[in-house]
């Protein structure tokens, strides 16, 4: 097994030297696993936990509890959740869900092997023939086994959600169901799964499942749908040529543009409603932050519509050369959009310190 990968690694070692070989192999693994997606599910899990435990928006109280636990109880008591703050189980849950996303993506690459080789849009160990499909599937199965062990260490409800994630992995990518190729179910699956991941993080930090703010996490699902809308839009022309009936293929270029903006508007409406109800966010914060949030999102969309979704030609150019040009817009827009949330934490921290 993995003879092709061994030969490839040995060739790199002999021709490029140890340092360059390690750097190239790290780069190959990075693209094969699409490692940044690991952190998306890790953050969604952590977000669910901090909301359910009221660590956010009250970080000072959490830090106070943390320090008290370390000073007045043993470290082992803290790590075993003796103070009931769930930090150890949270770390395991974040690792488990992050690896789950990698398993989902690698299994999706396994199912789309012929399409990816033909389109040449993905440059991975699999598409280059360095590992074969059976070896890719073996990696996915090994990940699933390890993820199951981690989930068992967290809790039974968390394990059940992980098993739902495994089912979703198959349901989304495998024929004959393959919801990613069905207009409507593709969108719902990409919204439901991030929502479920946030809920799984909340499960780690609560004593009762009834106290989890299920409705609040809907906007995490909307973020998942926005990411899907952008990627689905980029694949519009390739999917249309191959007869893949995604929601963007069904809507066409103009309809997909409208659809993308509608989903983003839905996210703003949900955050605004949450602020109005003062569930987590506050009306004052939303009114002051809305222009900043809008600016960050507008910068990201400007990058996409300048380099990938070319309106004048009604065409998509999702090749790596064009997509790399969008990075600077993402790198600028995301910190701007997240800045109000940082200010929100600071604002509540000052309140938590009783300075106001």
Of 107-111, 149-153, 210-214, least confident by mean pLDDT is 210-214
* H helical segments located in 155-211: 156-173, 185-205
pLDDT tens-digit profile of 319-336?
777 888 888 999 999 999
Nearest alpha carbon to residue 253 among 181, 309, 323, 183 = 309
pLDDT surpasses 90 at 219: no
Of the pLDDT bands very low, low, confident and very high (cuts 50, 70, 90), residue 8 is confident
* Confidence at residue 67, expressed as pLDDT on a 0 to 100 scale: 62
Q: Has residue 283 got a pLDDT over 60?
A: yes
pLDDT at 56: 62
What CATH code would you report for 215-356? 1.20.120
Mean pLDDT of 9-14: 84
Contact by Cβ (8 Å): 204, 151 = no
The string of pLDDT tens digits covering residues 180-215 is 888 888 888 888 989 999 999 999 888 788 888 888
C-alpha of 60 from chain center: 27
pLDDT average, residue stretch 166-175: 84
Residue 270, preceding peptide bond in cis (omega within 30° of 0): no
Domain boundaries, the chain: 1-33, 34-214, 215-356
Give the pLDDT of residue 348. Answer: 64
3-state secondary structure of 101: helix
| Cα 129 from Cα 138, distance rounded (Å) | 15
- pLDDT at site 12: 81
CATH no., domain 34-214: 1.10.357.140
- φ and ψ at residue 182, rounded to 5 degrees: -125, 120
**Residue 96 half-sphere exposure, CB side, CA atoms within 13 Å?**
31
pLDDT tens digits, 61-78: 556 555 665 565 555 555
pLDDT band at 134 (very low <50, low <70, confident <90, very high): very high
Cβ-contact 253, 337 below 8 angstroms: no
pLDDT for res 196: 93
Q: Are 334 and 307 in contact (CB under 8 A)?
A: no
Average pLDDT, the chain: 84
The pLDDT, as a whole number, for residue 347 is: 64
């Amino acid at each position: 097994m993995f003879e092709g990968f061994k030969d490839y690694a040995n060739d790199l070692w002999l021709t490029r030297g140890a340092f360059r070989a390690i750097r190239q192999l790290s780069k190959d693994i990075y693209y094969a696993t699409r490692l940044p997606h690991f952190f998306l599910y890790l953050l969604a899990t952590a977000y669910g936990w901090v909301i359910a435990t009221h660590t956010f928006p009250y970080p000072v109280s959490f830090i106070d509890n943390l320090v008290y636990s370390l000073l007045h109880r043993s470290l082992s008591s803290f790590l075993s959740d003796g103070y009931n703050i769930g930090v150890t189980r949270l770390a395991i849950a974040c690792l488990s869900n992050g690896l789950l996303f990698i398993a989902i993506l690698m299994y999706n690459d396994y199912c789309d092997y012929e399409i990816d080789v033909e389109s040449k849009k993905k440059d991975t160990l699999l598409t280059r023939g360095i590992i074969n499909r059976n070896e890719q599937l073996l990696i996915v199965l090994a990940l699933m086994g390890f993820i199951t062990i981690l989930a068992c260490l967290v809790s039974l409800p968390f394990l059940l959600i992980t098993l739902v994630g495994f089912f979703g992995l198959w349901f989304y990518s495998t024929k004959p169901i393959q919801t990613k190729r069905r207009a409507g179910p593709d969108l719902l699956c990409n919204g439901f799964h991030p929502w479920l991941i946030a809920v799984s993080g909340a499960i780690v930090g609560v004593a009762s499942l009834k106290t989890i703010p299920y409705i609040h996490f809907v906007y995490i699902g909307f973020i998942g749908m926005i990411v899907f809308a952008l990627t689905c839009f980029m694949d519009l022309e390739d999917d249309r040529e191959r007869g893949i009936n995604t929601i963007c293929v069904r809507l066409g270029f103009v309809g997909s543009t409208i659809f993308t903006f509608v989903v983003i508007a839905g996210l703003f409406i949900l955050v605004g409603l949450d602020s109005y109800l003062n569930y987590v966010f506050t009306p004052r914060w939303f009114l002051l932050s809305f222009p900043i949030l809008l600016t960050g999102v507008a910068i990201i969309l400007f990058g996409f519509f300048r380099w990938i979704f070319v309106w004048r030609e009604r065409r998509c150019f999702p090749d790596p050369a064009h997509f790399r040009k969008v990075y600077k817009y993402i790198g600028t827009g995301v910190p701007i959009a997240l800045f109000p949330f940082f200010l929100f934490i600071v604002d509540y921290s000052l309140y938590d310190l009783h300075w106001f």
